[in-house]
Amino acid sequence: MSWLAVSVELDAAQAERLSDALLEAGAVSVEVSDAQAGSLMERPIFGEPGGEPAASWPLNRVTALFDARVDAEAATRAALVSIGEVGAGQLHVSAVAEQDWVRASQQQFGPVRISERLWVVPSWCAEPDPRAINLRLDPGLAFGTGAHPTTWQCLRWLEANLAAGASLLDYGCGSGVLAIAARRLGAGTVIGVDIDPRAIEAARENAAANAVEIQVTDPDTVPAGPYDVVVANILSNPLKLLAPVLAALTKAGGSVVLAGILDRQADEVMAAYRQWFDMQVTSSKDGWTCLAGARRS
């Protein structure tokens, strides 16, 4: 399969809004970088964000990856119009071969140590500690590698709090890393949900590679639950919109775990969930917050 990358430079204050608009317009992933230095923040569909907050850079380059069958330029211009950036700078469109995309992705990721007994290990790397729980992972086009603080914090929460035999729903499962970790840590029924067919495929393949059984589906066919634990490592705006949905999927006395949230966004996300949950900040790392809440009866 071939891909098109579309880049545009604009004021940093609009970068996050454009990222969301591009994902809604059909982009597979969005990368935000300092237009001068090139540091990046990835924003995949229901995957993990990455890098430092874009607002710290005065001018951003936003690059969206589209399936080559999509009119990527038209989709990007429509996204710009939707956020009021009609006069944005020139668009730069380039072809990206799948082989180059995969190779570039692999070069970015190595084994990630989550704790004394838990590692996330890309499929092309050797296991650094054979005695540990090594989650073998090939992200493909579905992000969730364990390298970013959001995924790292969710994995740490699962290791510390997940009860043996608990049921778990990973809403926005991406590569399936959290769902697979839950099974390896002793969970019972585990369901992964994603809107991207590529993520669903990647999660199923990763589950098979780890010899664990999880069910992976789309939001329209997710089993009703409720679940002992619902985890969602997405982005703050979708998390706020999903609050009633995730509350309905969580058992009374169960837990919701939320990530993909900048520190400055934590209060507003917690406010969206307080109708159903007793929320708290569980950890903060490199500007990103992980929240957890106990479901009230």
Share of the chain above pLDDT 70, in %: 82
CATH superfamily of 153-295: Vaccinia Virus protein VP39 (3.40.50.150)
> Which one-letter amino acid corresponds to residue 255?
S
C-alpha of 121 from chain center: 17
DSSP string of 77-102?
HHHHHHTT-TT----EEEEEEHHHHH
Cα–Cα distances in Å, from 136 out to 4, 15, 206, 283, 297? 29, 33, 7, 25, 37
pLDDT tens, residue by residue, 183-200: 999 999 999 999 888 889
The stretch 214-232 carries a mean pLDDT of: 94
Q: What is the mean pLDDT of the chain?
A: 83
pLDDT band at 174 (very low <50, low <70, confident <90, very high): confident
Topology of domain 2-104, CATH: Alpha-Beta Plaits (3.30.70)
CB contact at 8 A, 136 and 209: yes
The stretch 80-87 carries a mean pLDDT of: 81
Res 54: pLDDT: 42
Res 100: pLDDT: 52
Residue intervals of the chain classified under CATH 3.30.70.120 are: 2-104
Predicted structure pTM score: 0.67
The stretch 222-244 carries a mean pLDDT of: 93
Q: Which residues contact 162 (CB under 8 A, 6 or more apart)?
A: 168, 182, 185, 186, 187, 229
Fill in the DSSP letter of residue 114. -
pLDDT tens, residue by residue, 29-71: 787 776 554 333 333 433 344 444 444 446 788 888 888 888 9
Res 265: pLDDT: 92
pLDDT band at 11 (very low <50, low <70, confident <90, very high): confident
CB contact at 8 A, 36 and 12: no
Res 147: pLDDT: 65
